[in-house]
Structure 1
Amino acid sequence: MGKQHWQDWINGLLGLWIFGSPWLLSHSMVTEVPVAGGILGMWNLSVVGLAVVVICAIALYRFNTLAEWINLLSGAWLVVSPLALGFSASAALTWNSVVSGSLIVIFAGWCLYDARNSRL
């Protein structure tokens, strides 16, 4: 096992939340506002959430900066995806995506910062 960062554990939990949030929020993106991107938004959250969980598991097993960069980009995608995919009419899903994505960006960036400073 490589060096573990506690931030990867938090990002893994955020990934689980993102993965399950379409169902845990009672399908609010589909039923709250009938938007064309609702189903696409559900799939987006599920796929990105699962990807974050898998990448975090890889980073916890063997840390490398590529995993953190992928998580950072996944988080950034979550921030812009409500507008890009057209499910921004659902306030619950938009806030869920933006806040969760922002936290993933922060924690992945923190890991990258720690890794960079530990080499100096």
Structure 2
Amino acid sequence: MTRHATWKSLIAGSQLVLGLVLLLTPWIFGFSAAATPAWSAWIAGLLIALIGAGALAGYAYPAAWANLVLGIWAIVAPWILGFAALAAAMWSHVVLGALVLLAAAVALWMEHEAPTQAHA
């Protein structure tokens, strides 16, 4: 496995893990009874994790774009959905969303820097 492929796998794996962590945050930080932030975390976390798994399966380029969008969504969801006053929910969405966004941006940058490799 080349160094580039190792980094791509690491980034895809991190997206999978970050999605699972976001999925679990309602229970970890105790906001599972608050329907809106809990469902936001469950749905966004599940989608991020599934897309991360897709990236590991060889669809890194489209997965990076999808998780870029989902990372942005997780960051802005507390204000759009109206749960910014619930600190645990807001910060878990913002921090994990930013990490997903960063991982997706790095994955896209790596794809751009390696134009000879197919966008799988």
| TM-based fold match above 0.5 | yes
1:93 aligns with 2:93: no
**May I ask how many residue pairs the two structures share in their alignment?**
110
**Alignment equivalent of 1:43, drawn from 31, 39, 44:** 39
SS at match of 1:56: helix
1:73-116 deviations in Å (ceiling 9; x for gaps): 00000000000000101111111110100010001110010011
Counterpart of 1:105 in structure 2 is: 101
| 1:43-82 matches, cutoff 5 A | 43-82=39-78
TM-score (structure 1 length as normaliser): 0.85
**Alignment equivalent of 2:24, drawn from 12, 17, 20:** 20
SS at match of 2:47: helix
Divergent runs of 4+, >3 A:
none
- Cα distance, 1:64 vs. partner? 3.6
Structural RMSD (CA) = 1.4
Counterpart of 1:34 in structure 2 is: none
The one of the two structures with greater contact order (alpha-carbon pairs below 8 A, sep at least 6) is 1
Q: Which amino acid aligns with 1:50?
A: L
Structure 2 residue runs of 5 or longer lacking an equivalent are: none
- Cα distance, 1:57 vs. partner? 0.5
Question: Partners in 1 of 2:57 and 2:65 — Cα distance?
Answer: 16
- Cα distance, 1:63 vs. partner? 2.7
Counterpart of 2:112 in structure 1 is: 116
The alignment-based identity, stated in percent, is 30
1:26-68 deviations in Å (ceiling 9; x for gaps): 22x74xxxxxxx3111101100100011101111011341111
Counterpart of 2:15 in structure 1 is: 11
Structure 1 residue runs of 5 or longer lacking an equivalent are: 31-37
